[in-house]
Structure 1
């Protein structure tokens, strides 16, 4: 059966459901114990899943199904809403919107949503409350800052304001750490490829070491940066890791609170380092 004749109807109804899902999720965020809102969200997700499956958009249907599993536990009082759950569901909604937009533009709606699906599955299994590798218990990004990098990562007032405003306007702000393979003979070239890739879809606000130092290979194997984009963590990690001779990649999305924490911690570490490196005054011996 040719389903193309129903494509426009599917797109229109999917956008309606996605708008409703976003609105209701925001309402639920303000009142996380309101199971009536959860029930409305569940029904919209269930309908969207069914439409996507009927039209053959398997990735879209699969992701919606995983979100539906989480919502089913919540509506039946088997799971309480948590910051990590909200964050994961909103990421799922962002991905669904991108997939529907892809379909609208003539695409097949396929997308790599494995990281979101994994997070949703960990919520259903309860592992997200036990694991130290997920967002619910993940170490604060500020704790990942190397003390040796603290001075270089300190944001000035303008840089901080740019990042803060970007978050307020709905952009994604990421703290990214990249380590180049110790066997690489072209460290600067690999770093340049990372910078070039990132600048194609966003703005680098702060880098340490500086771009000039990196170009002159005045760095060891690693560098860090603050980055503004619309891309998600998983997408950025995949793009950077795909560059030859990149050893490790860490991407952490910052919200207003974690950005403030990062700024305070790096400033504090830099101040401590400056004090420790200050010359110690030698007192002259007391006259005999």
Structure 2
């Protein structure tokens, strides 16, 4: 069978399952007895194994099968989860990830897995021996291997396991009919009728069809799930005539593995027969029906769709201008309808390109865990705002810079437990990884409660490296001093480690972020910790803006940054620290004249009233002074090109409906 057409889907789904394995293993370390987590891990491993085998990637299928065996043992309490096991299990998933990455890059996914597979098998066998030595089968409620039932499938095992967790009893019942019984099928039917009143029959040997056709001698066995005791069950069965004997024993699923034949017939997402909650509601059925209705779309197709839609937006603006000039009622009505429809279409296209930043963040907890163990440190990572959405193209690029910042925080930010105790800090350090929207940007903050940055040490190192003069150093703000560590090759470390060097490589981080149209800033307090703040554009090329005028020239301010517009009188403007400010709802907000920012001649110095636009960046605000407001409009954000990429406070330009070009103001840069 040619499977190449399914390769992209296989890679995408494999990555999803591997990510799920990583995440659930970290959860399992914190909650080793949580059955739901164990079931999720087993299910992901089982699905990945089946996909790999189907696609012909044998090494991947073999290793996943070995991992599945371990969790099969954990599910049924033959192996107990210990923290020492997690390292091996995470290492196994690392191998799986390596193989999938090899397949994605055109390889065949081959890898020498003998060592890790052997360790997994030893883990499984060693734990089984421990359990067998410490507890007898009778004490554990096991049945012996001579049980009638030898081909329990995975679905039946899951039912029996769950019934035990819910407090039900699993019984194996063997019924011997008298040899003079004439209607064996009728007697079996009567026994089953009794059993149905006592609980739920899961399986029978011989099969139900053979029992109905009387294709058996005089003995048959069933597995029954019930909340009744064995004595009561035996007495009720014996009330059926022509029964010679009834044997009833506890039935344990612990000694059973899924048969190869039954694996192919496993049903997923089937209602549990012992579920007493009743049938699904109409809403639940509808949700179940719709939850898998998704398709995968190549990002390049979305790029083409976005470019076509941008042209449509420009033409829509032109039509709006024409209809406004002609004042034709029919034309205006058609244009208004087109505007509504295109706005809905725009929202859908933009939403299709946006993905939660959790796709990047989800891999960091395991990295932090491993790195902290390697450095003999104790570190917790707290993730805030993982559901913040960002354009897919940016998501693909920001992973490596954030990884480097986290490694820096762990290696040179967080102290050892001993050092932290001497400073009166908790032994375990904390790193907060936070994402949030602000205006037309996403901010990602990496905050640690470690040693902070020694600005005197940074300055002395910068002077020694001739990065600046004594006079220049005196004029630097505290934040500018901290940002010196992002100069190429700069380091304050006495010993550069192979993990990271605070400063070594940060220039690469800075360059990568700036190449995405973003920026990075640093704030730190000695012995308290540091905050690295990364600002990234959403890269939404279609944005809503407020058009304003400065000396007859049009500028656009993104609506997402604007809190309010206002006209203030001269009496409402005050001076504080040699700067003009206004009182905005009890807060002191600095005034920024955009004409001063862009070098435009200011002819309105003595005006009685001033038009302002109040913008925000996080908790900070500023009041931008403009000549007048034109109105709200949706525009297409166009890049100014490489020659004009470094213009302060300008993020791009747009073509308006009348053909004029308006520059788009980056209010975040002005506030900063």
Output the TM-score relative to the length of structure 2: 0.20
- 1 or 2 for the larger relative contact order (CA 8 Å, sep ≥6)? 1
Structure whose residues are more often strand by fraction:
2
Output the TM-score relative to the length of structure 1: 0.46
**Which structure has the larger Rg?**
2
